[in-house]
Amino acid sequence: MEKIKLVIVDDSVETRNNIKLLLSFEKRIEIIGEAENGEEAVFITREAHPDIVLMDINMPVMDGIRATEEISLSVPESTVIIMSVQGEQEYMKKAMSAGARDFLNKPFTGDELTKTILKTYDIESKRREHSAITRSYEEIKSTVITVFSTKGGVGKTTIASNLAVGIARSTKKKVALVDLDLQFGDIAIMLNVSVKNTISDMIKEINQLDRDLMDDYLVTHFSGVRVLPAPIKPEYAEYITSSHLEKIVNLLKEHYHYVIIDTSASFHETVLAALDMSDRILFVSTLDLPTIKNIKSGLDIMDSLHYPKDKIKIILNKASEQFGIKYKDFENTLKHPIWSFIPEDSQTVITSANKGFPFVMTRTETRVAKAIMGMCGELVRENNSINEKPTVKKLFG
Ligand SMILES: Nc1ncnc2c1ncn2[C@@H]1O[C@H](COP(=O)(O)OP(=O)(O)O)[C@@H](O)[C@H]1O
Ligand SMILES: [Mg+2]
């Protein structure tokens, strides 16, 4: 059993010896040091980090009240118990407000002494355990994934929303989904969540924004995914800047293991900011010439931004070779391999969008759901192999 480490502080040798004697049969308490004034007490406490400091009040050089104050500020893991003589009530009150946790009236019996030490230690350990839970947070390794295309209607929103839900359900990690199609965002409709606040309400408070406040702006989908909806009106979009977006994404990263961003088909400054901050860009294409041409220009722009090649993953949606273009030709044109193929399945995709139920939850047997779940698995695996285990960071002892 861990012993309670004690330091005795009193200017009288006799008192210190008495206390040692009273505690000599107490196996749970170990006296690790003694001091004859406040200054020595602070010094020993800083060096030895005792659990309990038994502190007299009236002492030369530095009195017990000042010493208590210093200890509770600089060595908060050591707890002070004040010893006072009857009639020193005023001092005792001061000591308690200086940070002492309990007090003993001199003279005291061995039983009173032991009980007070054990009780104080017990309460303090419980308090500390509790505050370690509430004040520590998991330092999260967050992954930002942006679903992008230089073409509208290719399936970005379908993929982003099913991907978010798929990752949340398969990993049980915290997932945030940001609708960055600022003019015509439809994530909220696709997932059938009722919108109270949107990203435009959030930026009104951007300077006060912290983790907790930010959480109030997100709505919860029943899968557990937390959604930040796009503005209610297209004209609100112009007030949102790249620095707003950076701040929002950085805050989300503190709290969510995965931040998934759905975008519009443009290189708007907010979209560029999202692409810059992303660990992965899922670039969605379909297999028709106008789209391929646009995707090619988009990839050229990304080349000029010097993104590492494996940051960009090409997704071929509604994939089929039956319309005259071969996958190989597509890859050769783009000089990028196709990372994932998603089959066309209007029945499943459109019905689930109309009902607001993501098909990765409701139609798991379909090929389109399996393709998205395969993507989820791949992204999560890659992510786990890059990031080591999350560490618990304590803010305060
Ligand atoms: N794999 C698919 N099979 C069938 N229809 C699809 C598929 N992916 C998307 N769609 C449909 O294509 C249309 C555009 O999809 P959406 O996700 O809104 O694209 P974007 O966000 O790129 O504009 C929607 O009607 C959607 O239901
Ligand atoms: Mg969309």
Measured in Å, residue 161 CA sits from the centre of ligand 2 at 10
For ligand 1, what atom is nearest to the CA of residue 342? 1
* pLDDT one digit per residue (tens) for the chain, 397 residues: 789 999 999 999 999 999 999 999 899 999 999 999 999 999 999 988 999 999 999 999 999 999 999 998 888 889 999 998 877 778 888 888 888 998 898 899 999 999 999 999 998 888 877 766 655 556 788 999 999 999 999 999 999 999 999 999 999 999 999 999 999 999 999 999 999 899 999 998 888 888 778 888 999 998 999 999 999 999 999 899 999 999 999 999 999 999 999 999 999 999 999 999 999 999 999 999 999 999 999 999 998 999 988 899 999 999 999 988 999 999 999 999 999 999 999 999 999 999 889 999 999 999 999 999 999 999 999 888 776 544 454 454 4
Whole-angstrom distance, CA of residue 92 vs CA of residue 81: 10
Measured in Å, residue 66 CA sits from the centre of ligand 1 at 70
* Co-location of 250 and 283 in the same domain: yes
Q: Are 259 and 249 in contact (CB under 8 A)?
A: yes
Whole-angstrom distance, CA of residue 393 vs CA of residue 240: 33
Please choose, from the candidates 190, 122, 114, the residue with its C-alpha nearest in 3D space to the C-alpha of residue 156: 190
Domain that holds residue 329: 140-394
Whole-angstrom distance, CA of residue 19 vs CA of residue 35: 13
> Partners of 144 in the beta sheet?
259
Q: Any residues with CB less than 8 A from the CB of 108 and at least 6 apart, and which? A: 83, 116
* Co-location of 238 and 351 in the same domain: yes
Whole-angstrom distance, CA of residue 284 vs CA of residue 305: 19
Q: 256 in helix, strand or coil? A: coil
For ligand 1, what atom is nearest to the CA of residue 161? 17
Q: Nearest ligand, CA of residue 179?
A: 2
Domain limit, last residue, from 91, 111, 136: 136
* Co-location of 70 and 84 in the same domain: yes
Neighbour count for residue 40 (Cβ, 10 Å): 19
Domain limit, last residue, from 104, 119, 136: 136
CB of 291 sitting under 6 A from ligand 1 = no
Given ligand 1 and candidates 146, 148, 157, 158, which is best to mutate, with the most ligand atoms within 8 Å of its CB?
158
CB of 350 sitting under 6 A from ligand 1 = yes
Q: 154-195: per-residue pLDDT in tens?
A: 999 999 999 999 999 999 999 999 999 999 999 999 999 999
User: How far, CA to CA in Å, does 365 sit from each of 346, 357, 362?
Assistant: 15, 15, 9
Please choose, from the candidates 149, 145, 164, 227, the residue with its C-alpha nearest in 3D space to the C-alpha of residue 372: 164
Sheet holding 312-317, edge to edge: 219-220, 226-228, 175-180, 258-263, 143-148, 280-285, 312-317, 338-342
Q: What is the CATH number of the domain that holds 163?
A: 3.40.50.300
> In degrees rounded to 5, what are phi and psi of residue 257?
-70, -35
Q: Which of the 8 DSSP states describes residue 11? A: S
How is residue 102 written in tokens? 């309990």
For ligand 1, what atom is nearest to the CA of residue 186? 18
Measured in Å, residue 5 CA sits from the centre of ligand 1 at 66
DSSP letters of 18-63? HHHHHTTT-TTEEEEEEESSHHHHHHHHHHH--SEEEEESS-SSS-
* Co-location of 368 and 274 in the same domain: yes
* Co-location of 227 and 267 in the same domain: yes
* Co-location of 252 and 307 in the same domain: yes
Q: Are 88 and 67 in contact (CB under 8 A)?
A: no
* Co-location of 280 and 218 in the same domain: yes
For ligand 1, what atom is nearest to the CA of residue 284? 22
Q: Are 306 and 338 in contact (CB under 8 A)?
A: no
Sort strands 29-35 and 4-9 into parallel, antiparallel or unpaired. parallel
Q: 231-257: per-residue pLDDT in tens?
A: 999 999 989 999 999 999 999 999 999
> In degrees rounded to 5, what are phi and psi of residue 138?
-75, 125
Please choose, from the candidates 109, 57, 63, the residue with its C-alpha nearest in 3D space to the C-alpha of residue 88: 57
Q: Nearest ligand, CA of residue 341?
A: 1
Residue type, 175: V
Q: Nearest ligand, CA of residue 155?
A: 1
* Co-location of 354 and 206 in the same domain: yes
Domain limit, last residue, from 136, 161, 177: 136
How is residue 192 written in tokens? 């059938």
Whole-angstrom distance, CA of residue 242 vs CA of residue 239: 10
* Co-location of 94 and 171 in the same domain: no
* Closest C-alpha to ligand 1, atom 25: 350
* Closest C-alpha to ligand 1, atom 9: 155
Residue type, 348: T
For ligand 1, what atom is nearest to the CA of residue 181? 21
- Number of structural domains, the chain? 2
* Co-location of 72 and 149 in the same domain: no
Q: Which of the 8 DSSP states describes residue 51? A: S
* Co-location of 358 and 246 in the same domain: yes
Q: What is the CATH number of the domain that holds 103?
A: 3.40.50.2300
Measured in Å, residue 152 CA sits from the centre of ligand 2 at 7
* Co-location of 322 and 358 in the same domain: yes
Measured in Å, residue 317 CA sits from the centre of ligand 2 at 13
